[in-house]
Amino acid sequence: MDSKFKTLSIVIPVYNEKKLLPLVLEQLENLTLPLEKEIVIVDDYSTDGTREYIESLDSNKYKIILKDKNQGKGSALRTGFGHVTGDLVIIQDADLEYDLNDYESLLEPILLGDADVVYGSRFLDMNRFDSHYPLHIINNKMITFVSNIFTGLRLTDMETCYKVIRRDVLDSFVHKLGADRFGIEPEITHHVSKGDWKIIEIPVSYKARTFEEGKKIKMRDGFAALWHIIGFHINSK
The answer to whether residue 174 scores a pLDDT higher than 60 is: yes
Q: Number of structural domains, the chain? A: 1
Decide if pLDDT at 101 tops 60.
yes
| DSSP code per residue over 108-128 | HHHHTTS-SEEEEESSS-GGG
Domain span at 89: 7-235
| Assigned domain for 42 exists | yes
Q: Which helix (H) or strand (E) holds 199?
A: strand 199-203
Q: Which of 74-83, 162-171, 219-228 has the lowest mean pLDDT?
A: 219-228
Q: Do residues 157 and 201 make contact, with C-beta atoms less than 8 angstroms apart?
A: yes
Across 58-62, average pLDDT: 96
Average pLDDT value for the chain: 91
Gap between the Cα atoms of 110 and 113, Å rounded = 5
Cα dist from 94 to 11, 55, 57, 116, whole Å: 10, 16, 15, 25
Predicted local distance difference test score (pLDDT) of residue 182? 82
Q: What is the DSSP string of 150-175?
A: HH----S-TT-S-EEEEHHHHHTTGG
What is the rounded CA–CA span in Å between residue 63 and residue 42? 8
pLDDT band of 228, cuts 50, 70, 90? confident
CA–CA gap between residue 75 and residue 70 (Å, rounded): 9
Domain assignment present for residue 1? The answer is no
Q: 7 exposed, middle or buried (CB, 10 Å; 0-12, 13-18, 19+)?
A: middle
Tell me, yes or no, whether 2 lies in a domain: no
From CA 174, how far away is CA 113, in angstroms rounded?
A: 22
Is the residue at 71 inside a domain?
Answer: yes
pLDDT grade for 226, boundaries at 50, 70 and 90: confident
CATH of the domain at 197: 3.90.550.10
56 falls within a domain = yes
First to last CA, the chain: 38
